[in-house]
Amino acid sequence: MKSKLIISAVVSLACASSVLAKNETPKGNGEGPVKEQAQIRDQLQVCTPELEKECLQDQDGLPAEVQEAVKEMTQAREKYQQQLQDQTNEATECTDEDREQLREQLREQMKEQAKDREQLRERLREMRECLPEHQDMIQQAKEQAREKARRGDD
């Protein structure tokens, strides 16, 4: 399964880079590689139907496993993009009061987690105190072995 994902990722990136290379035009306005990288990243994150069609044309000669993996990745990408859109919509609809309420909830959760961590540390200390030291355990085992030897148990 991992190999399918790797193959499909490589094929998808190759398709996307070949399409981007075809669409690339020289820029003389001095925007530099940072702007171009951001544009490429945005194009890879949000796939247009034209880009999708061009990638699919390049996939005709690929094995069925790779085509299936590409379909799975396409579905996963669409699901991810929908989640991003939903989160963006949620964030824009959120009022200042909602944000403050969420912040307060996060603060409370962080306080509870800190209390839980402290309780766990205390419990760990108690458990360590209850457990015998390693040296004590070795000594007890030696004594038990000597006792068995004296009694003649094998």
Phi, psi of 101 (to 5 degrees): -65, -40
- Answer yes or no: do 65 and 105 share one domain: no
- Answer yes or no: do 102 and 88 share one domain: no
Q: How confident is the model at residue 135 (pLDDT cuts 50, 70, 90)?
A: confident
Tokens 């603060």 sit on residue: 107
The last residue of a domain, from among 62, 93, 124:
93
Distance between start and end Cα atoms, the chain: 53
Q: What is the residue range of 70's domain?
A: 1-93
Domain count, the chain: 2
User: By the 8 A CB rule, do 43 and 16 touch?
Assistant: yes
Q: Find all residues with CB under 8 Å of 114, minimum gap 6, and list them.
A: none
Q: How confident is the model at residue 28 (pLDDT cuts 50, 70, 90)?
A: very low
How confident is the model over 62-87, as pLDDT tens digits?
A: 788 888 888 899 899 999 999 999 88
Tokens 């034209």 sit on residue: 50
How confident is the model over 116-127, as pLDDT tens digits?
A: 999 999 999 998
- Answer yes or no: do 104 and 78 share one domain: no
The more confident residue out of 91 and 114 is 114
- Answer yes or no: do 132 and 66 share one domain: no
Q: Give the type of residue at 69.
A: A
Q: Give the span between the Cα atoms of 38 and 141, in whole angstroms.
A: 67
pTM for the full predicted model = 0.34
The last residue of a domain, from among 43, 75, 93:
93
pLDDT at position 33 over 80: no
- Answer yes or no: do 77 and 106 share one domain: no
User: Residue 149: which H helix or E strand, with range?
Assistant: helix 134-151
Q: Give the span between the Cα atoms of 112 and 108, in whole angstroms.
A: 6
The last residue of a domain, from among 48, 76, 93:
93
